[in-house]
Amino acid sequence: MEELSTTNILYVDDEVNNLNSFRAALRRNYHVFTAQSGEEGLDIFNHNDIQVVVTDQRMPGMTGVQFLKQLPEEPDNVRIILTGFSDMEAIIDAINTGKVYRYITKPWDKDELKIAIDNAIETVLLRRNNKKLIHELQNYNEQLEERVMQRTQEIEKQKKQLESEKSKSDALLLNILPEEIAAELKKFGKSYARRHENVSVLFADIEGFTKIAKKLTPDLLVTQLDEIFRGFDYITSKYGMEKIKTIGDAYMCASGLPLDDTEHALNAIKAAKDMQLFVTELNRSKILQDLPAFKLRIGIHTGSVVSGVVGTKKFVYDIWGDTVNLASQMEQQGVPEKVNISGNTFELVKHLYQCTHRGKISTKDQTAVDMYFVEDKIS
């Protein structure tokens, strides 16, 4: 993949102090251009190869959304908007129409902003390489028509790769809410709560994380967690699960929503197994780096939940119910490097996986619950 020799960031804000703070925070990592107005920003943009545009929303004369709408319709750059809570409707509309890659609420956090910009730069590289590849394919078709039959299979393969990469780019725009929920918000202005009768909820937690955290610098701690959660994000996506949230070092996801899935329990267990394997492989590199290893506890319970979007200033998709609470307790009652499931989940996968019955274990509310460790898959 083509690499950028210089990463150019444009930041537009009418507040001089904000411009200075932004430049001071990120100048070691990027070449930072600053502008005090949309007009000045457009002039800089038109005379420089800008990969990432970051703009404040509230500015006199021209808002951040208005400024971004004046940029090219099919950009080779990524746009991020900094906003307060009162402008959320305009920001959501801009995201849904493809004008904004993502938004960050003010006051911004340096680490969060840098992660967002690094992800944006990866997207820029992907877009530019895709555009370059499409152009090359078009030239090949014009110049080598006599070889069409010989190249058909190769071109079809390349087209599928392009479609796959485009899908990944489109998925980046849906990093706030599930696609169905985002579409509902855009159409109706709100999202309606739903009850899901068959959902498998998964909790994953790092054993002894508090002690490990004391041994790491803040930057290294965040880097380690980001590496793990990025891996988990990939795994949940692989099995069609919905990431709900992270709470400290805990990761919560669910299978069977927002759309029904008849294999929700199976997919949850496959994801749990992959998560354990991912952390085990990650620990091998940690040993070489003289870093503390992470051990994962995972708990799964199956039942009904209620889902919905809460908040008016910052939308959050969440789930509630006894199923969520019991899934959390499954994780707490588990042991490192094991997948602990409830009797409800066991009944759905007992013909697929060997499981070790742990007997009746009392949960926090003194309810006796059957628990099982998931072992090998039945051949």
Check: CB of residue 79 under 8 Å from CB of residue 71: yes
Short-list 71, 70, 28, 66, CA closest to 52: 71
First to last CA, the chain: 41
Q: Quote the pLDDT of residue 117.
A: 85
Convert the pLDDT of each residue in 333-362 to its tens digit: 899 999 999 999 999 999 999 999 998 877
Short-list 282, 268, 130, CA closest to 206: 282
Convert the pLDDT of each residue in 56-77 to its tens digit: 888 888 888 888 888 877 667 8
Q: Quote the pLDDT of residue 173.
A: 36
pLDDT at residue 149 tops 90? no
DSSP string, 290-313: T-----EEEEEEEEEEEEEEE-SS
Mean pLDDT of 240-258: 90
Convert the pLDDT of each residue in 190-200 to its tens digit: 667 788 999 99
Q: What is the number of residues in the chain?
A: 379
d(CA 295, CA 237) in angstroms, rounded, equals 22
pLDDT band per the 50, 70, 90 thresholds, residue 111? confident
Residue linked to tokens 């855009």: 186
Q: Please give the residue that has the higher pLDDT: either 299 or 104.
A: 299
| Backbone dihedral angles phi then psi of residue 290, each to the nearest 5 degrees | 60, 45
DSSP at 315:
-
Q: Please give the residue that has the higher pLDDT: either 151 or 378.
A: 378
Question: In the chain, what are the domains?
Answer: 1-176 (3.40.50.2300), 186-377 (3.30.70.1230)
Q: What is the mean pLDDT of the chain?
A: 83
Convert the pLDDT of each residue in 288-322 to its tens digit: 777 888 899 999 999 999 988 776 666 777 888 88
- Which three-class secondary structure state does DSSP give residue 273? helix
pLDDT band per the 50, 70, 90 thresholds, residue 170? very low
Q: Are strands 338-342 and 368-377 parallel, antiparallel or unpaired?
A: antiparallel
What is the pTM (predicted TM-score) of this model? Answer: 0.52
Mean pLDDT of 109-124: 84
